Amino acid sequence: MKQGLISWLLILLGNSAPVFSSGTPLTHGAHVHGEAVMNIVLDGNSLFIELDSPVINLVGFEHAPNNEEQVSALLKAEQTLASSDRLFHFATTQCSLENVEIEMPYLKNHAHKNPQHLSPEMHHGHTDFHANYAFQCEQAKDLTAISVKLFSFFPDLQEIKAQWIFQGKQGSASLTASHPTLSVN
């Protein structure tokens, strides 16, 4: 997927003159419980969304799963993150998912639901979920807002720090359960 495109654009802009009024560079922040980072790039009709969140925000714990209930919580979070049609609503245009990649911690093979199949390299703290979405949008130039519905699925998620690049404009916003819409005008 074009994950490299997002990273490259964010690094390029982060190393140039400050692009946001706050002067905040476009880089991944520190691992903070309750917060996630979302980077969004619109390139022609292609829309890329990258989400990084501490595991604890999505499943309520941040260690390797100890039992079937915790394994199930990880698999449910992965399934929810893969359901992009439930997570994002695009104002004034139609966007179709082309690809989604979810990096899920702890479980080596997602088909296994047995805690014995844990990835040994992931048994330490401060672990994140990473999700990358690629959409094709009709009339992408008309896209003015994205409603992010992650808060209704993950109540421990308190804030998403969103950074975006659209049609030669860039900006940032803080999204919360009471303000879940990113406006890009």
Q: pLDDT per residue over 93-142, tens digit each?
A: 899 999 999 998 887 544 444 444 444 444 445 688 999 999 999 988 88
Global pTM? 0.78
Long-range pairs for 105-112: beta carbons < 8 A, 24 or more residues apart: 105/55, 105/74, 105/129, 106/64, 106/65, 106/74, 107/65, 107/71, 107/74, 107/75, 110/75, 110/78
What would the pLDDT profile of 47-94 be if each residue is shown by its tens digit? 999 999 999 999 999 888 999 999 999 999 999 999 999 999 998 889
Point out which residues pair with 163 in neighbouring strands: 39, 172
